[in-house]
Each structure stands twice: as C-alpha cells, then as structure tokens.
C-alpha cells in the first residue's frame, strides 16, 4: 500500500461559494455601499461597482474566517431593498464568488 507524501498531505483544499449581494448607489453620494444579506453585519463600500464587489468579496472571506456561519435572516434582503429604495437609492442584486 502506498501512502501520499507529506508534502502532498499539507496542500490545503479550496472551494468557491457564491453569495448574493446588494449594491446600493445614491446619486447624491459618490460610490456604492454593498451588503451581503446572508451574513448579517457583513457590508462594505467602494468607489465604483467593480471596487465595491471586490471589497465585499474580501469582507465575506474575512467574515467567514473569523465568525461562525449563521443562517440567513428571513426577509433581510427585502427589508434592505425596501429601505434604500424608499430613500431614493438605486439597488442592484449581484453575486460574488468567494474562495473558502
């Protein structure tokens, strides 16, 4: 029977997971705010759409590394959308791939 080499055993495995995020823009303010409804408290911002998506991907990775996984809060996405659109902001639903 052959055993794998020690170097092969130390290779970490990675996977990706997709998270739905909300990009919020307000014509009165520059940039974007971005929220991950599945991870309460996980949000970020960026100067433009691409920057905001990169920042939320980094925030999600950090959140999952340092916080226990929680179930999504029911209705959180809908409440965020309603709150921001009522305030005159544009809201876009997008997805980001995160390395785990």
User: How many CA atoms, within 13 angstroms, populate the side-chain half-sphere of residue 23?
Assistant: 21
* 79-85, long-range: CB < 8 A, 24+ apart: 80/22, 80/24, 80/35, 80/37, 81/22, 84/22, 84/24
Domain limits, the chain? 29-99
pLDDT at residue 16 in the model: 85
pLDDT at residue 96 in the model: 85
- Alpha-helix runs per DSSP H in the chain: 6-9, 49-66, 76-86
- The whole-model pTM stands at 0.71
> Can you tell me the distance from the alpha carbon of 97 to that of 94, in angstroms, rounded to the nearest whole number?
10
pLDDT at residue 4 in the model: 52
Q: What angle do CA 8, 9, 15 make, to 5 degrees?
A: 90
- Using CB atoms within 10 A of its CB, is residue 22 exposed (0-12), middle (13-18) or buried (19+)? buried
pLDDT at residue 9 in the model: 56
pLDDT at residue 70 in the model: 56
Give mean pLDDT in consecutive 10-residue pieces for the chain, a chain of 100 residues.
Answer: 52 78 94 93 95 96 76 73 90 84
């Amino acid at each position: 029977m052959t055993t794998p080499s020690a170097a092969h055993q130390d290779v970490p495995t990675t996977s990706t997971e997709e998270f739905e995020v909300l990009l919020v823009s307000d014509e009165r303010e520059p940039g974007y705010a971005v929220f991950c409804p599945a991870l309460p408290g996980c949000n970020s911002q960026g100067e433009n759409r691409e920057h905001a998506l990169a920042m939320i991907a980094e925030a999600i990775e950090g959140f999952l590394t340092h916080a226990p996984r929680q179930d999504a809060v029911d209705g959180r996405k809908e409440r965020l959308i309603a709150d921001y659109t009522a305030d005159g902001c544009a809201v876009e639903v997008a997805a980001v791939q995160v390395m785990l």
